[in-house]
Amino acid sequence: MDAPVSSVVFPQKGAYVATSGTKFCALNWEDRSTVVLAQVDQDKKNNPFNDRKVDPAGRYFAGTMAEETASAVLEQHQGALYSLFPDHHVKKYFDQVDISNGLDWSLDHKIFYYIHSLSYSVDAFDYYLQTGQISKRRSVYKLEKDEHIPDGMCTDAEGKLWVACYNRGRVIPLDPVTGKRLQTVKLPVEKTTSCCFGGKDYSEMYVTCVP
């Protein structure tokens, strides 16, 4: 790989698809080969992919951002949100993004949730699983100053959203229907970056952070 890897998914045994720099790449673990499936933002070489997630139809959603010169300090409006479809064509949904970050879907996959970090907002779109289209953007939660920058996000078994707050060492669960924060889970770290559920019965939360 000629750039840092920002995410990896596993479509089938022995095969991987990763985002590296501005590229979607197929990786073969057996022979260590790499094939570039698609490249985005080709006019912006310092515009790597950031957060990503795959929908039930196999579309690989990932957003870009300019490289940071310090924490959350970067050239603004350089990023965009894309998805790589199973046939390897890429769809661009929108641009003018500062830091493209957490994303997930409602339990019925009819709503797509998205975080544009420097807008301090968790947004929702109507989602059409059959086509991968999104529409009707709206904010479901605006972060308060003490919550700081929203980063990665996941959905729990009740349809609530859990958002990692960068530079605040906490994860906050949100109700996207009422637009309310349900509680604050503080952690003994500062830079929490993302979260997901795992373990037996998906009853454990795993939280990532950076130094």
HSE on the CB side for 86, CA within 13 Å?
Answer: 10
Rounded to the nearest 5°, which phi and psi values hold at 61? -85, 135
Half-sphere exposure of 68 (CA within 13 A, CB side): 10
- Tokens 């019925």 belong to 108
Q: How far apart are CA 170 and CA 162, in angstroms?
A: 10
For 76-160, where are the E strands, in sequence order? Answer: 79-84, 90-97, 100-105, 111-116, 121-128, 133-142, 149-155
Rounded CA-CA distance 153/142 in Å is 14
Verify whether residue 123 is a known catalytic residue: no
Q: Does 167 belong to an annotated binding site?
A: no
- CA–CA dist 30, 114 (Å, integer): 35
Q: Is 101 labelled as part of a ligand binding site? A: yes
Q: Is 90 left (phi over 0), alpha (psi -120 to 50) or beta?
A: beta
Catalytic: which of 151, 156, 175, 201? 151
Q: Which sequence positions are flagged as catalytic? A: 151
Report the binding-site residues for a divalent metal cation. Answer: 151
Report the binding-site residues for substrate. Answer: 50, 68, 101
Report the binding-site residues. Answer: 50, 68, 101, 151
